[in-house]
Amino acid sequence: MALLRLFAKCCQKCVFCSYPREKESGRAAEEKLSYWLKSAAAVKAPLIQISGGEPLLAEPYDLLKLAAFCARLGRRVEIQTNASGISGRFSETELQKLIKIISGSGGYFNINFSADTPGSDLKITRTRGAFARRLETVKKMLSQGASVRLTFVITKLNYRRLEKFGFFVVKELKGVSWVQFSFVKGSGRAAFAKKIVPRYAMAAPYLRRALAVCGAAGLKCEVDHIPPCFLGEYYRCHVDIGKMKLGSPGPHLAEKEKLTECLGCGLYSGCSGPRKDYIAIYPGAGLTGAGIYGGLK
């Protein structure tokens, strides 16, 4: 996969943002359609992730042209979005065209959806009205046949609501292709921030209950950025398991590292270890689950 960041501007102020606008400058030359097309043309990976900031803040014509160009190159296209800024910017026809292009490429919309209520969402996004706008947009996308992945970023502010989020998705967002529960990265606004980054052991029980809810409803789930030894019987949901078994290269190898606590764990061969930025906050990582599994199956 290849990440194509259009710009830093966004319509939310998420506490966990890895690329906050206030920490970026000097990108003006990169925030043009001509630059995006040139960057996309150089990509050899089968999947292009169009991201930001918030990519749906791009001019509709520019985003449609970029997405169509990527699709013509034979690349799958992923749009990484919070889905709260599209209202009033894209006409119904433009949204339908974008969905058609993304679907035709075999791609999908990856929507950051880290809350099940407006109140919880406000704590995370610090943006009033974002929850309602996002919910409306996701339902509209699903009704038009879009492939939608939801990404719930697990933080100290929302991990206790993981199970409730599972019930919310199952009830309110039927048709979602899958959900990824992604433990917050200790970077950007969350760098060295214990008030945002919880310990793995704190969040893990709630995460397992959410996986149980989704699994019972037949909803596919993935997990990333928390070692699989914390997932119990759901360790196969971890995205690194397959990557490590296949020996696939990728950022998971650079962003994470195994510790001495990992030695002897039955999941050792299928795990990349905890994130390095997590270890910087919690040395040793508290890998109490290590060693309890008999091996990968």
Q: What is the CA radius of gyration of the chain?
A: 19
Is the pLDDT at 200 greater than 90, yes or no? yes
Query: Can you give the pTM of this predicted structure?
Result: 0.93
User: Which sign does the torsion angle of CA 145, 238, 113, 250 carry?
Assistant: negative
Per-residue pLDDT reduced to its tens digit, 3-37: 999 999 999 999 999 988 776 665 666 789 999 99
- Please report the pLDDT score of residue 294 as a whole number: 41
Which residues, at least 6 apart from 10, have a Cβ–Cβ distance to it below 8 Å?
17, 21, 52, 53, 54, 57, 82, 85
Is the pLDDT at 39 greater than 90, yes or no? yes
Which residues, at least 6 apart from 141, have a Cβ–Cβ distance to it below 8 Å?
83, 95, 99, 109, 148
Is the pLDDT at 173 greater than 60, yes or no? yes
- Please report the pLDDT score of residue 291 as a whole number: 43
Q: How many helices (H) and strands (E) does the chain have?
A: 10, 7
- Please report the pLDDT score of residue 297 as a whole number: 38
Q: Give the mean pLDDT of 212-222.
A: 98
- Please report the pLDDT score of residue 172 as a whole number: 98
Is the pLDDT at 163 greater than 90, yes or no? yes
Is the pLDDT at 292 greater than 70, yes or no? no
DSSP one-letter code for 194: T
Please say whether the beta carbons of 149 and 181 come within 8 A: no
Domain ranges of the chain: 2-256
- Considering the chain, what percentage of its residues have pLDDT values greater than 70? 91
Q: Please report which confidence band the pLDDT of residue 147 belongs to, taking 50, 70 and 90 as the band edges.
A: very high
> How many residues are listed for the chain in this entry?
297
Beta strands in the chain (DSSP E): 2-5, 47-51, 76-81, 108-112, 148-154, 178-183, 221-224
Compute the half-sphere exposure of residue 128: CA atoms within 13 Å on the CB side of its CA: 0
Query: Can you read off the two tokens belonging to residue 182?
Result: 């992604």
Per-residue pLDDT reduced to its tens digit, 226-251: 999 999 999 999 999 878 776 666 66
Looking at this protein, which amino acid is placed at residue 279? I
Which residue matches tokens 């406000």? 122
Please say whether the beta carbons of 12 and 130 come within 8 A: yes
Nearest alpha carbon to residue 202 among 182, 226, 220, 171? 226
Q: Give the mean pLDDT of 26-52.
A: 90
Per-residue pLDDT reduced to its tens digit, 72-106: 999 999 999 999 988 788 999 999 999 999 999 99
Q: Give the mean pLDDT of 274-296.
A: 70
Average confidence score pLDDT of the chain:
92
**What backbone phi and psi angles, to 5 degrees, belong to 149?**
-105, 135
Beta strands at 47-51 and 2-5: parallel, antiparallel or unpaired: parallel
3-class secondary structure, 213: helix
- Return the CATH fold of 2-256: TIM Barrel (3.20.20)
